[in-house]
Structure formats: C-alpha cells, structure tokens
Amino acid sequence: MKMNKIYDGSHQWIMFGRDTNKPEKIIDTNQYIVKTAKRCLLIDPGGVELFAPMLAAILHHAPVENITDLFASHQDPDVISSLGLWDQALPNAKLHAAQIWEGFIRHFGCESIEYVAIPDNGGTIQLDNVELQIIPAHYMHAAANFNLYDPEARILMSGDVGAALEEPGSPMFVENFDSHIEKMRYFHQRWMPSNQAKRAWIERVRELDVEIMAPQHGRMFRGDDVKRFLDWFEGLQVGIAV
C-alpha cells in the first residue's frame, strides 16, 4: 500500500491506497487520515480485508491510542465493512456516520465504538484545534452521503464523487484531465442516480475553496483540475440506468 502526504501544516492529511496486494476482484480504495498532535481521524477505513495493512500503515504515523475518530461517508462495504475489527482495536473511538445508516452499519460490528449520528444537514468534527466540515452529498451516490471538507488545508474528501476505476499502479493525482474522463464516465453515469442531487452538490462545492479533491477511488484532483471536474460533471447526464 502506498502512502502520500497531501497536506503538512498545523496538521497533516495522509492518503493510503494503491494496494498491490489486494485480492484481484476487490475494488481498489483510497483511505485518508487527518492527524493532529494528539489525535487521528481515519476517513473511510475500507473493507474488512484492509484492516491489517491499514492499521500497520497508520501506526507508522500515530500510536493506536491516538486514533480517536473514524468517519464513514456512507454505508457501503468498501467504505466501512472493517468496522468490527476497528471496534476491537479502538474500543474508545467514535464513528461519525449518517444517522439513517446506523441500523445498517451496525451489522458490520459496533459494540464498543461510539456511533455519532450525523443529521441530514451535516455538522462538524473537532479534532484538537482543527474543525472539519461535514458536507451533505446525499444521493451521491447513497441516499445519505457526506463529504468532509478542511478549510485550512483546502481539501475536500469527496467519497465516490470523482471516483475512477483504475489499476493499483496508477498515479496518485490526475495528470491529464481529458484522458482521465473516460475512466470516470461510466462510474458516474451508472452510480449517481439523480441530476437534481448532482446539481445541488456542485452548487455547494463551488462555494468552497478546494485545492485538492480526494475521492475514495482513483486519482485525486488538484488546482484547476477541481474546477475542470465540476464543469465536466455538471454537463454529464447521470442515472442512465433508469
């Protein structure tokens, strides 16, 4: 699994992904941590098969007792099916996830970790002196879905928005946006069900100052490629399976 530090200021953002040892038919995912001096937030911790490599990777950056919080953008197994194992490793941690998904996510195992239910309008996560904004992204693609925005680092963890299905050896960042489009098109047309929800999300994100957009699959976008993605996505008809 590769590691990429995407922000290093008063706190850090670190991305983990491109797992060359993953099972062949398991989709590749990106995991992120936000690390302060004393606390660590694990974002979309991944499937059950990723628990051991993710724990080992994080321990290079923070002791286990500093992993105080987890965030799940939605309920999918590639996002949070490792919960039952994190529940055993981090009995005093908190899981921040959508209120309406609680009864579903608990099927993965949640005996010790405190479930912090996120209301539909979002909220914040306070990590020492760092305040992260929970941005509603409903139907993008889950019925209750959230992104995480850091105004200081100017990073938007966008969940499945911006995702591309690629080989584990792919670069961390988009290098040529035009050639990257075909890696994203089908995923967004098939998994994003609502043009109305898409437009609402785009309007919300355009109001943020985003330098890096970091999805759960595929490459990250930075600089002008963030705006290029929003413009492309705005013109894309989604929900084509209907």
* Number of residues written out for the chain: 242
Tell me: the pLDDT tens digits for 133-174? 999 999 999 999 999 999 999 999 999 999 998 877 889 999
Amino acid at 14: I
pTM: 0.97
Predicted local confidence at residue 59, as pLDDT: 96
Residue 221 confidence (pLDDT): 98
Q: Which residues pair with 14 in a beta bridge?
A: 5, 33
- Contact status, residue 164 vs residue 184, Cβ threshold 8 Å: yes
User: What three-state secondary structure class fits 4?
Assistant: strand
The model's pLDDT over 54-100, given as tens digits with 9 standing for 90+, comes to 999 999 999 999 999 999 999 999 999 999 999 999 999 999 999 99
Q: Among candidates 171, 177, 149, which has minimal Cα distance to 13?
A: 149
Domain boundaries defined on the chain: 2-234
- Rounded distance between C-alpha atoms, residue 132 and residue 124, angstroms: 5
Peptide bond into 141 cis (omega under 30): yes
β-pairing, 31-35 with 40-43?
antiparallel
Provide the CB-side half-sphere exposure for 37 (13 A, CA). 3
- CATH topology for 2-234? Metallo-beta-lactamase; Chain A (3.60.15)
Q: What number of helices (H) and strands (E) belong to the chain?
A: 7, 13
Determine the average pLDDT of the residues in 176-188.
96
pLDDT digits (tens, 9 = 90+) for 203-238: 999 999 999 999 999 999 999 999 999 999 999 999
Q: What is the pLDDT of residue 242?
A: 59
CA–CA distance, 48 with 237 (Å, rounded to integer): 33
Residue of 140, 161, 150, 149 lying closest to 221 (CA atoms) = 161
